[in-house]
Amino acid sequence: MILRNGIFMHNLIDIFTYKVYNEKLLSHRDLWKMKYAMTVMWYEVIKFVALLALFIILNKTYEFLLCISILFSIRIFSGGLHFESNFACFVSSAVFFCIIILYLPLLFTVSTGVGIVLMLISTSVVSIYSPMPSPNRPVISKKRRQTLKYLSVFFTLAWIFILYKFIHDHTFFEYGIWTISVQAFQLIIGKE
């Protein structure tokens, strides 16, 4: 019932939104924002569960959890590529994590020096190209845009510090480096 295009959940969101509307608890604009946020959160939960199931099957659960933690804390402020459909978003996310977890570590070994170069480039890209918000939620305010940029850079640097200081398993270190690098790369792709 829930999986049939999310109709059941949309009905619950619509019912809740209508109830808030009838009680005049929010303005029309805030009501639209609330409904949009609830819908986005619903699809993000579905995407997370499906991706988690995939990486459980592939026996890469911890790797996925590390990568999604890094990605989420940076991407929430920096933005990135956005797609018209939820299915396209899911497929691109699956490809993103498969590249980082399954392919890049097999193709390239990241030494400390290479990691430093990748992180310098990635931090520069994040500071130049972020934020890249969704067209459905543009950032109009210059102050807000600057705040998002600072937070993007802060979380990028925080993860770099964590990777170099606390992650002693080289494989997990590489997953972190690749996550930050590929996130920065998609900011470049999205700006062109």
Give me the pLDDT at residue 19, please. 72
**Angle 28-34-38 from CA coordinates, rounded to 5°:** 145
The last residue of a domain, from among 57, 78, 93:
57
Residue segments in the chain with a per-residue pLDDT below the cut of 70: 1-10, 21-22, 136, 192
* C-alpha to C-alpha distance for 86 and 4, rounded to whole angstroms: 13
Give the range of the structural domain holding residue 34, as residue numbers without chain letter.
1-57
Give me the pLDDT at residue 1, please. 37
Instruction: Please check whether residues 86 and 146 belong to one and the same domain.
Output: yes
State the residue for tokens 């570590």. 105
Q: Are 75 and 183 a contacting pair, CB within 8 Å?
A: yes
Number of structural domains (the chain) is 2
Global pTM value: 0.84
Instruction: Please check whether residues 4 and 35 belong to one and the same domain.
Output: yes
* C-alpha to C-alpha distance for 118 and 114, rounded to whole angstroms: 6
Give me the pLDDT at residue 40, please. 79
The fraction of the chain above a pLDDT of 90, given in percent, is: 60
Give me the pLDDT at residue 117, please. 96
DSSP, residue by residue, 84-146:
SSHHHHHHHHHHHHHIIIIIHHHH----HHHHHHHHHHHHHHHHHH--B--TTS----HHHHH
Instruction: Please check whether residues 42 and 95 belong to one and the same domain.
Output: no
Instruction: Please check whether residues 18 and 104 belong to one and the same domain.
Output: no
Q: Are 104 and 60 a contacting pair, CB within 8 Å?
A: no
Per-residue pLDDT tens for 82-130? 788 888 889 999 999 999 999 999 999 999 899 999 999 999 999 999 9
For the chain, report the end-to-end CA distance as a whole number of angstroms.
40
Residue 70 corresponds to which tokens in the numbers above? 């890094």
Which letter does DSSP use for residue 26 in this model?
S
Average per-residue pLDDT in the chain? 87
The last residue of a domain, from among 36, 57, 78:
57
